[in-house]
Amino acid sequence: VDNHCISDLCISIKNATTQMSNSVNPAQLSDMRLLALNDIYLFNKNYASSISKYFSLAVHNALKSSLLFKKYYSERGVQCYDWCMSIEESSPSDWISSLTLCAKMLGIASESQNVLDMHTAHVLTSVLPVFIHGPPDYSVEDSYVHNYLSPLLSSVFSSEPLLNMKWANGRLKNDNSKVYKPDFLVYNLSGNIKSVILIAEFKQFDQNSYVESDLIKLGKQMKFTLNKLVSNGVIQPKVCGIHCEGDTLFTYVMDLASPKVYRMINAAKIKLFRNLDQISLLPSILTHLICLKNIALETALKIEKTTLSGCTTLKRTAPCPPLHWLSHDSVVLTRTTKK
C-alpha cells in the first residue's frame, strides 16, 4: 500500500513484541500485541484500535478502504426503524397486545420481503412479549445469552440452509491438541464434512482471564479454523467471529493476507439494547449481523463447491493460499495477578 509492505510491518511488530515479552510482565502487553505473537494482526477502521497505529496515520488511511465490507450489507429497512421508535415511545401494555403488534409487523415485512424488516419483526416477536414488564435477568451467563443474544443470532443465522448453529460447549481442537469450547458456532455441513465458519465468545460482564482474554481465545480459534479450511482446499476462505462483553458486541472477519499474516478485522462495534427504551438500536444491530452472515455464507458456498468438486474428481482442490502460508504457532503468556 503506497509503497509500504504491510506484511513486513506486521512481522516487525511481532518481532518487537517477542523482545518485549522477555523483559516485561505479560500483564503489561495489550491483547493486540499478544495476538501478534500468534501471527494474528488486529485491524480496525479506528486508528487508535488498530495494529496500524504502530505504522503511521498515512499508512492506516491508505489501507482503511480494505477494512470495509460494504458489498455484504443488505438494503436499508423500510419500516423497521419506525416500528422500533414507536415501541420506544409507547410499548404495548400486555402480552396479547405485544403479540398482536408483532404479528402485524411480521405480515407487513413478509409481504415486502425486505430482509432487515423481516429480521426485525422476527426478533421483536421473541423479545417484545418478554421485555414489556421490564428487562429480563442478565446476571447469569445462560440468562444473558438466552434473553439477549439468542433471538438475534438465531434469527439471522437460521435464515440460510447452508448455515447451521451450535450453542454452548461445541468443541474446537487446535494443532497442539488444546480443546476450546466456544459459546456459539456456525458451521456448514456439505456431505458428511462439518466445517466451522463462525465462532463466538460471550461474557455478561466485562472481565478477562489472567491467562488469555476472550478476544485472544477467539483470535486463536479463528486462526485454527481458517487453517483447517485452507488445508481442505477451500479457496481464499474468510472466518467470522463474534466477541460480546456486557452490552457491547464486536464482529470480526479473518483472512490470510500473506504468508503467516492473519488479518483479523474488527468489522463492527455494536451496542446492544438492555430494555425497550433502547429498542431503536435493534435495526443497527441486525444490519451488522446480517453483514457477517453474508460473509459466512460466501465461505459456505466455497466449502460446498470444494466438496462437490472433490466428489466429482476424487481429488482434493489445491490449497489457495498455499499451505506454506499457514502458521501453527500458539503462544500463551500468563498474566499474573497484580498484588
Residue located via cell numbers 458489498: 71
Closest-CA residue to 223 (of 211, 212, 231): 231
* Whether the Cβ atoms of residue 207 and residue 214 lie closer than 8 Å to each other: no
What's the pLDDT at 338? 46
What's the pLDDT at 331? 86
How far apart are alpha carbons 48 and 57 in whole angstroms? Answer: 10
pLDDT per residue over 9-59, tens digit each? Answer: 999 999 999 999 888 887 788 999 999 999 999 999 999 999 999 999 999
pLDDT per residue over 162-194, tens digit each? Answer: 999 999 766 676 656 667 889 999 999 998 889
pLDDT per residue over 206-227, tens digit each? Answer: 655 556 889 999 999 999 999 9
Residues 6+ apart with CB under 8 A from 249: 242, 243, 269, 270, 271, 272, 285
What's the pLDDT at 172? 72
How far apart are alpha carbons 207 and 54 in whole angstroms? Answer: 26
What's the pLDDT at 336? 56
CA distance readout (Å), 292 to 162, 261, 296: 14, 21, 6
Give me the DSSP letters along 315-335. Answer: SPPPPSS-GGG----------
pLDDT per residue over 257-281, tens digit each? Answer: 999 999 999 999 999 999 999 999 9
Task: Based on DSSP, count helices (H) and strands (E) in the chain, helices before strands.
Answer: 10, 9
144-168 mean pLDDT: 94
What's the pLDDT at 174? 62
What's the pLDDT at 333? 74
92-108 mean pLDDT: 96
For residues 312 and 289, the model is more confident at 289
What's the pLDDT at 208? 56
- What is the rounded average pLDDT for all residues in the chain? 91
What's the pLDDT at 339? 43
What's the pLDDT at 266? 98
